[in-house]
Amino acid sequence: MVVPFWTPITPLAGFLLHADPQFGGAASALLDPESTGALTVFAFQIGTDGQASTCRAWLCRDPLEEEQIEDRVGPVEPGKWLSWPMQTSTLLQSDSLARASCWLEADEIPVAWLNRFPTGAEVVRKTIELRSRRILDPDRRLLARRECEYELFRSVEQAIEMPNIAAGFADIETFISRAQTILQRRKARSGHSLELHTREIFLEELLVEGAHFQHQPESEKGKKPDFLFPSQAAYRDPSFPAERLRMLAVKTTCRDRWRQILNEADRIPQKHLLTLQEGISESQFGEMVRSGVQLVVPAGLVSKFPKTVQPHLQSLSAFIEGRRAIEA
């Protein structure tokens, strides 16, 4: 995942790579398979001629370093990049504002949303209205809706925040407060959106909530997996066969965060993890397998993983079909 910046940044902890044509050659951290999926910042120094004379790169080593970056720029979607141009003072992306397939023009945005930013559930419902696509299999449906939702979210953000930015700020503290609001909203959307889309797809695939699956249950005290199958009641029933239980965790990225799910749902030794991470290293995957984690990856992203890993990934469609087979 690459995040280009067009202005120098105060150095963060991590790998500092002076730019040469090969970024350090074969020994470069950028070419290390263990760096697959790591958040990276490229900072270009622009000369008076408008050309980049120097490039420096920071490669994040752990989630803490990634959070330091995302605290400044907002969440970075897997496979996406962000540009923060030196000439702009806003935190909004500088992409073209031309109407995209899911971009809402000002007169298309519900009035209530302009007074109160919509909840994640409201944005997801609007996304489904724009991109129902129930003829698509669950994998393609999920990816199409995530792409649509990202555009929709940004169009609403643009409509709400640009007037504030254009009006200016009375002091630095007011500006920082507004910027933090924007960044925190983006992070909250990114973390919860995939969960909500997955729940909607389960319902569309005729899985009944409370009978076939449960969203945000409590498996044990203080432990809340994203999804339990078939239900919290079945999980807590000692007489219910453990081999018929499943849990599904949902994480947009999983490079270092997958370990967080290991202590969820003690009765279920194999933890299924749905992710949009575009690839991990073979050694990371091996560690997941040894820890009892089964990766669930939309079929359209499987090619991003090492060829030796691809046969061992499960698609969302296959996960749903597997659940149906257990219920049959």
pLDDT digits (tens, 9 = 90+) for 93-121: 433 333 346 999 999 999 999 999 999 99
Cα–Cα distance between 326 and 328 in angstroms, integer? 6
| β-bridge pairing 2-5 and 15-18 | unpaired
- In the chain, CATH 3.40.91.80 sits at 106-204, 214-327
Q: Where are the alpha helices (DSSP H) in the chain?
A: 63-73, 111-115, 120-130, 138-167, 172-204, 232-236, 282-290, 316-327
pLDDT digits (tens, 9 = 90+) for 218-252: 999 999 999 999 999 999 999 999 999 999 999 99
- Predicted pLDDT of residue 60: 74
The more confidently predicted of residues 39 and 177 is: 177
Mean per-residue pLDDT over the chain, rounded? 82
The more confidently predicted of residues 317 and 31 is: 317
CATH class of 106-204: alpha beta
- Going across the sheet that includes 40-46, the strands are 2-5, 40-46, 52-59, 15-18
DSSP category for residue 309: T
The more confidently predicted of residues 274 and 91 is: 274
Give residues with Cβ within 8 angstroms of 82, minimum separation 6: 3, 4, 73, 74, 76, 93
Work out the average pLDDT over 78-96. 47
- Predicted pLDDT of residue 317: 97
How is domain 214-327 classified at the CATH fold level? Answer: Restriction Endonuclease (3.40.91)
Radius of gyration of the chain (CA): 22
Which one of 5, 213, 235, 319 is the catalytic residue? 235
- Predicted pLDDT of residue 134: 81
- Going across the sheet that includes 246-251, the strands are 214-215, 227-229, 246-251, 271-275, 293-296
Q: Is 150 a catalytic residue?
A: no
